[in-house]
Amino acid sequence: MSKPNLVVGVPKEIKNNENRVALTPGGAGMLQMSGHRVLVEAGAGIGSGFSDEDYKQEGATIIAHAAEVWAQSDMIMKVKEPLPAEYGYFKEGQMLFTYLHLAAAGDLAAQLLEKKVTGIAYETIQLPNGSLPLLTPMSEVAGRMSVQIGAHYLEKFYGGRGILLGGVPGVPPADVIILGGGIVGTNAAKMALGLGANVVIIERSADRMRALDDIFGGHLRTLMSNPYNIASAVQKADLLIGAVLIPGARAPRLVTAAMVQSMKPGAVIVDVAVDQGGSIETIDRVTTHSDPTYEKFGVLHYAVANMPGAVPRTSTLALTNVTLPYALELANKGFTQAIAENYTLQLGVNTYKGNVTHPAVAEALGMPYTKLIDLS
């Protein structure tokens, strides 16, 4: 039997209530059929409904401890960025294929650089049209969830205003303000409109606003993004959703503390961009699924960085549909050939040989940027 080309490791996620997994049994089977060896930490897929036996049936090897998975693997596939407890597993030259969000994670970036890990970030892999194929499905999930979550926390029991998002005949619906009209914002608007809310999207691109007007047939309002319009809209919001993303960079702070202070008591903020630093000034901490909210100026703040982890079956299937082809490309061709032949994949490389190789990440971290081509 020929030696496998690559050893691909899938450790269990350890972030609070993160039940997604980076590879399905079917994906493990495809890697195995391509001549690679797949190591899966025991229990890694259980939260998404995949048993260890499911992986075994596809040829994967179940490994009892995370340390062994990391130690034996040439490429690690994860969902969320490594946490400090995992930094000790890093080894030079190892590929790490996951969401990294380094713009808001200086300590993680420093560790990847020190250990000379090849960090390939799902969120900066970018197609020629500017779209982010590996971020899109999770943005769709998070956008839809943001409205469900907001409606939940607007209930009085949870500290909200005691408002039904869609109202009832004779009683007006809630005002939902969405910052950003991209994938997250569009999916949030679909859900909010479906529940009968009044919806406003604040967007900086006139062309995107025209597209949103066509998509929704005039059922929502759009506003040009500027401080005056944002302040005016935020003051009226029952539910404010932050849905702004700049690939690789820190999210821009669009809502000031003073704006939040002007909001109605019991209003709710859900900031989907919290893993990139958040677009709302009062989002000054990341929360977890087990302790998701805090109150500031009488406004309830929801700042969970792994929202799709709450619906892991849907999220894992949606995510792995788009990550697997890139994982196969990296495994089958090797890192050097894969990035040389695929510029889209090349844009995903954030760290390599101890250097920051993505310009937006370097700027956000205040570190030097080195072109990947200069290191190859």
Whether 117 and 96 have beta carbons less than 8 Å apart is answered as yes
Alpha-carbon separation of residue 58 from 51, 52, 267 (angstroms): 12, 10, 49
Residue 178 pairs in a beta bridge with 201, 241
Does the annotation count 65 as an active-site position?
no
Q: Which two tokens stand for residue 137?
A: 């499905």
Phi, psi of 363 (to 5 degrees): -65, -45
Nearest of 56, 64, 55 to residue 25 by alpha carbon:
55
Whether 339 and 359 have beta carbons less than 8 Å apart is answered as no
Q: Which of 175, 275, 301, 358 is catalytic?
A: 275
Q: Which of 101, 238, 271, 358 is catalytic?
A: 101
Q: Give every CB contact of residue 236 below 8 A, 6+ residues apart in sequence.
A: 175, 177
CA-based angle 307:249:236, to the nearest 5? 60
Phi, psi of 236 (to 5 degrees): -90, -10
The rounded distance, in Å, linking the Cα atoms of 322 and 231 is 37
The rounded distance, in Å, linking the Cα atoms of 242 and 251 is 10
What's the half-sphere exposure (Cβ side, CA atoms, 13 Å) at 178? Answer: 34
The rounded distance, in Å, linking the Cα atoms of 267 and 205 is 27
For the stretch 224-227, contacts whose Cβ atoms lie closer than 8 Å and that sit 24 or more positions apart, written own/partner, are: 225/179, 225/254
Does the annotation count 374 as an active-site position?
no
Three-state secondary structure call for residue 76: strand
The rounded distance, in Å, linking the Cα atoms of 134 and 51 is 25
The rounded distance, in Å, linking the Cα atoms of 95 and 7 is 11
**Which residues are tagged catalytic?**
101, 275
